[in-house]
Structure 1
């Protein structure tokens, strides 16, 4: 059948199993949006307040479902507004397809109104990007974009479609979506050698990364961890890959991880990295990180092997295949003495106390949410101190229930991600933990919460400062607080009301449970102003480039 390019876009989205897209219309995208009007019974379009919010929403949708998120924008600033969203998805390996409009093909390269070369702008932060120059190439381009986003190491792909291409017609032939390619283990001989290292280890550990979730390998990974009886230390991206209540789960690893996770990396004799990047926030001193141990890396992306930390063995392939292969023929291992020692380390820093004053404590807020939410409810975060408190204190029991910007550290990510997750899971509650600094970057999306009546509970951990940067200024810059005490006078309760959203406030310990229970009972969007101390800090902390031996447990 003969269809316009705009109709081909809609048919290809349906062909790929897409039922929801996030975006914002504009002149160059009008043909596509006119087609979406006719497809509105099959494709749900979520209109955000800003294209960056749409890109983060598509990201949150993808993180919480494992599907490919889709964002649509117009040309020029509409396209450039999603750059941060693409970079965020790229470094965290999140599958996304961005379809941007552009000016007519005969206007390209003429500095036309709202023209920008988005294809070349995003090349370093996407798996691929290209311009569609013929309507006949449109369907193959969309199919290729979806296949690329999901194959191998997942990530975002952008295709740029000039306006006249969406108006022209071409024959459209439906196709079944391509199946994701199973990445075979490229070096199968390594399996036997790694198994032998496991058999000989007395103090093994697993450094778990987000690649476990990307590979949909949580079940297989848990079976592997239990078979080798190894403690699991999770990167920020891996939280939820193993239930927080599981006896082998130790906690978050790295700069703001627990003392016990730092000691494990310093004392283990075998470290098995599963889908992790050895980033600077985990391997602070790369020369000393795990220097006493044999290090094994299970990884899908060859570029990550030996990139940050030298390893003794690696298995290159799909993580689900790798951990499954390692269990075949491997006997049950037992490490009771090692696990008992770890239990001792867990209590060695019980003396670390929060800042004592009249304010509610961040961990008390998070503990309260732990007790009220269901295991499958979702927590989204922005970036800063609140993000690290969530990593330390939230009980993440199920996969894909923590959405956070790990590699890019994107302030302003949380609201969009929460929207995408809530759209994807209308039967669950979504809690967004944000800081007053991050919230000021994305509060415009409160209009989206209200427009779609999304029952997201936004907890603004309000210390009236840029807390994480201020904490670094305390530790490393002689308490010279340059531009981290912004003296803003925003009343978040009144602000929420102005957007038509319920606003509440937690100012004292006695407010915590009544306010949270009321917010949950409303089953509507709520903003809670949680007033915490500006002197509250994230502790313990391993300074940049240091080891657990230099851990900071108190600010003075």
Structure 2
């Protein structure tokens, strides 16, 4: 058996079913064939392949593969791999390497140190040197994608090894040795930690629960809801954890980050945390951008998590309760924890946040909140909202309604520009009967717009909404924080007609000039069950943002 076929069969035996990517000159030596157990999706760019594998891993909880050729193929894919590393997605990233006798890093044509390049953005980075490694080193490397915090493993495969013939008896022994990847059981929480945690909750008067994405990865959503109901604590979440607790849950307040005041056009961060005397961080991940600075770094913190994510002197909780989150929360329930009264400010904020409407401002010009509301209505309770990176992401993450885990997807920790469209492609592949929407700014969309043709080729009915301001909107936002005028030549660019671009790639498209037309156009786009792009111009309230502290929700009366 040739090594390429043995490799694909071994990967399939470990549970890898899908690969996204582009094959280079190694096409002479590797054949992705469904008969070998892995379905191959050809992308237009390796970065998109990496994002697709990242998102497929998030949605399924099992690693998916991405493939690139050597040299620039791998460097293109690296950002997608980095996204999986920082956003904690299981992934197997693979690339070819030139034949071993010719390897001279940075000297031979398209030859770089693959393993060294990928070592810093993966949990495991190695080059295969012989077939026997499939049953030992590769199995161990791939298992690491699921252990602890999930993440990518990288394999470099020299071209001459791909062409090697492996004796049938040896190949059979290798295939018999590989085993499906499994999620290891979480450790039991220490009884002393549970007791300390219970005491801190009992001593608190107004605790608040903060949830991160590890709650979703550990499938602990139901336990979190039971625990929150027992102690009657309000819940906030990071954008990465949207949907872990449904937006209409009686304890849920809002997703939160540093943009909360700006998006709602009023001061809500201060009343959100004022009066809280214990932060209960469940499945918390500092990288998800819901940092303790938001609540002033001055409140006692209890972290309940299955994975320790030490942050050194950046953040240290007062109490750390490690182990299976469901066990920890269920054991806390047996300690007779008191049910607390909500702060009056939280009762008012609950009514305010449930409306998902920014405070009225006479100078407001943006339609983004109305656009996000229309998208949420069209997606309903079950649709998947994939947001690209930009200022529009903050509006989407903080205003969109989400009722299920992993039904709002964005590049949380990595912030990968161009994430939206390839993320939506992966989501539609994983959930073919579900409405999937890519929400993009014109900057981020044009970074991966070549994948429009991929949508058509695989008949994926993703709807794309492009909000166009001919600028890098998020970068334009920052100078306004200091009342400075932006240097426009650094952030603005010429207009692009994205409807023409879509049609050139075989995607039907509509341009909207009046936001009032958007809900009907969006619903009709979904009903076609074909890919469709909707473009509309948008403005942002950048000039309002530095002055939002002048208005605030009245939470004190």
Gaps of 5+ in 1: 543-549
Q: Answer yes or no: is the 8 Å Cα contact 2:420–2:438 preserved in 1.
A: yes
How far does the alpha carbon of each residue in 1:254-307 deviate from its partner, in whole angstroms, 9 at most, with x for none? 202355454333421111111223359433638x7341x321112344342555
Is the contact made by 2:22 and 2:68 (CA closer than 8 Å) also made in structure 1? yes
Residue deviations 1:118-147, cap 9 Å, x none?
211121111111111112112433322321
Residue 255 of structure 2: which of 252, 255, 270 is its match?
Answer: 252
2:42 maps to: 47
Q: Please, which of 185, 202, 225 is the counterpart of residue 199 of structure 1?
A: 202
Query: CA 1:96/1:257 → structure 2, altered by over 3 Å: closer, same or farther?
Result: same
Counterpart Cα distance in 2 of 1:381 and 1:437: 13
Q: TM-score, normalised by structure 2?
A: 0.90
Deviations along 1:149-178, one digit per CA (max 9) or x if unpaired, are: 011111111111111222221423324314
1:236 is matched with 239
The structural deviation recorded for 1:58 is 0.7
| Structure 1 Cα separation of the partners of residues 134 and 477 of structure 2 | 50
**1:433–1:460 Cα contact (<8 Å) kept:** yes
1:488, CA displacement in angstroms? Answer: 1.4
Contact in 1 for aligned 2:475/2:491 (Cα 8 Å): no
Corresponding position: 1:285 with 2:293: yes
Please state how far the C-alpha of 1:29 moved relative to its aligned partner.
5.1
* Displacement of 1:396: 0.7
On the 8 A contact 1:205/1:264 being kept in 2, the answer is: no
1:78 to 69, 73, 80: 73
**Deviation of 1:96 (Å):** 0.8
Could you say what secondary structure the match of 1:304 adopts?
coil
The 1:364/1:12 distance shift into structure 2, 3 A limit, reads: same
Structure-1 residue corresponding to 2:321: 315
Query: In structure 2, how many angstroms separate the alpha carbons of the residues matched to 1:5 and 1:498?
Result: 40
Select which of 519, 522, 526 maps to 1:516. Answer: 522
1:26 aligns with 2:24: yes
- Normalised to the residue count of structure 1, the TM-score between the two structures is 0.90
CA gap of 1:281–1:314, structure 2 versus 1, over 3 A, is same
The DSSP-based 3-state class of the residue aligned with 1:352 is: coil
Per the TM alignment, residue 445 of structure 1 is displaced from its structure 2 partner at its CA by: 0.9
What pairs with 1:91-240 in structure 2 (closer than 5 Å)? Answer: 91-109=86-104, 111-168=107-164, 169=166, 170-171=170-171, 172-174=174-176, 175-185=178-188, 187-240=190-243
Match of 2:347 among 343, 347, 352: 343
Query: What SS does the corresponding residue of 2:253 show, helix, strand or coil?
Result: strand
Matched, 1:268 2:265: no
Structure 2 CA distance for aligned equivalents of residues 10 and 121 of structure 1: 24
Q: CA RMSD in A?
A: 2.6
Aligned twin of 1:362: 368
2:146, 2:183 within 8 Å by CA — same for their partners in 1?
A: yes
* 1:541 positional shift: 8.1
Deviates more, 1:367-376 or 1:318-327: 318-327
CA contact (8 A) 1:211 1:319 kept: no
Tell me if structure 2 keeps the 8 A contact 1:132–1:160. Answer: yes
Assess if the C-alpha contact under 8 Å between 2:19 and 2:66 holds in 1.
Answer: yes
Q: CA deviation at 1:28?
A: 3.0
Please tell me whether the aligned partners of residues 54 and 91 of structure 2 are also in contact (alpha carbons under 8 angstroms). yes
1:15 aligns with 2:13: yes
* SS class of match (1:81): helix
1:334 aligns with 2:339: yes
Cα distance in 2 between the residues matched to 1:103 and 1:392: 47
1:102 deviates by: 0.8
State how far apart, in whole Å, the 1-side matches of 2:362 and 2:471 are. Answer: 16
Equivalences, count: 536
Alignment partner of 2:321: what SS? strand
Query: Which runs of no fewer than 5 residues in structure 2 stay unpaired?
Result: 262-266, 553-557
Distance in 2 (alpha carbons) for counterparts of 1:117 and 1:28: 17
In structure 2, the partner of 1:459 is 465
Deviations 1:314-349 (A, max 9, x none): 01234344333333x1336422333x4302245689
The answer on whether the counterparts of 2:5 and 2:36 sit within 8 Å (CA) in structure 1 is: no
Contact 1:29 / 1:75 at 8 angstroms: preserved in 2?
no
How far did residue 479 of structure 1 move?
1.1
Deviation, 1:351, is 7.5
Cα distance in structure 2, aligned partners of 1:224 and 1:285: 25
* Aligned positions of 1:368-379 closer than 5 A: 368-379=374-385
SS at match of 1:101: strand
Q: In the alignment, does 2:438 pair up with 1:442?
A: no
Q: What secondary structure is seen at the aligned counterpart in 1 of 2:136?
A: helix
User: What are the within-5 Å matches in structure 2 for residues 391-402 of structure 1?
Assistant: 391-402=397-408
Contact 2:272 2:345 in 1 (8 A): no
CA contact (8 A) 2:378 2:519 kept: no
Q: Is the 8 A contact 1:268 1:290 kept in 2?
A: no
Q: Is the 8 A contact 1:539 1:553 kept in 2?
A: no
**TM-superposition CA deviations, 1:481-520 (whole Å, max 9, x none):** 3435523121011111111101112211321122112211
